[in-house]
Amino acid sequence: MVTLQKALWGIILVVLVTCPYHTQARIGTFWHVTDFHYDVNYTTTGDSQNMCWDHRVDNTSPGKFGDYGCDTPLELVTAAIQAMVKIQPKPDFILWTGDDTAHVADKYFTTTKVVNIIHELTDKLNRSFPNTTFFPVLGNHDYYPKNQVSHYGNHDY
Ligand SMILES: *[C@@H]1O[C@H](CO)[C@@H](O)[C@H](O)[C@H]1NC(C)=O
Ligand SMILES: *[C@@H]1O[C@H](CO)[C@@H](O)[C@H](O)[C@H]1NC(C)=O
Ligand SMILES: *[C@@H]1O[C@H](CO)[C@@H](O)[C@H](O)[C@H]1NC(C)=O
């Protein structure tokens, strides 16, 4: 089982930026969150052979906060965002580089399901950082069908 701490660092990176300002250094902070791969169907009692996407690892008893080869349960999403607020509640900005949905086949998704997952994460982040500017970027898993986002004439985005 993955420990909470290891799992948190898996999806959160914090970077301190320094930039010269006259002769003194000004220090700013930002959060970079990426690859939530939130699995709305994750459960600790689930059959990992069906629920988890990578079967090269032994993940027969999925943990509360996720497991190797599996996508992210709601508990981990919530704990990660709570940890962000605890560690740095007022970053200068938040970079959010997408890949929000689970590694499951397109047959389990629709545009509405993908948009709902992005909406749920947006809502959680916005509630936790109501006054922070976000710079969101879409990943290949943030479109239905995945990897197929078109360059023009895109109805959804
Ligand atoms: C979650 O499970 C339900 C019920 O089996 C299924 O209809 C749905 O497509 C699944 N969604 C995802 C995103 O895996
Ligand atoms: C974030 O929350 C504020 C306050 O509730 C709301 O006005 C705003 O529309 C929300 N932004 C997004 C992107 O959901
Ligand atoms: C966000 O800004 C509003 C308006 O200035 C303020 O009332 C609120 O306390 C701020 N929230 C946080 C979490 O900083």
pLDDT in tens, 83-92: 999 999 999 9
Average pLDDT over residues 34-53: 93
Q: How far is the CA of 42 from the centre of ligand 1 (A)?
A: 10
Give the per-residue pLDDT at 13.
44
Give the per-residue pLDDT at 60.
80
Residue reference for tokens 């990176």 = 13
- Residue 1 pLDDT class (50, 70, 90 cuts): very low
In this structure, are residues 136 and 98 in contact, taking their beta carbons and an 8 Å threshold? yes
Nearest ligand, CA 104: 1
Which among 137, 146, 3 has a CA at the least distance from the CA of 66? 3
Does residue 129 have its Cβ closer than 6 Å to ligand 3?
no
Beta strands in the chain (DSSP E): 12-21, 24-33, 93-96, 134-136
What pLDDT, in 10s, does the model give residues 69-88?
999 999 999 999 999 999 99
Nearest ligand, CA 127: 2
Q: How far is the CA of 114 from the centre of ligand 2 (A)?
A: 19
Q: How far is the CA of 14 from the centre of ligand 2 (A)?
A: 24
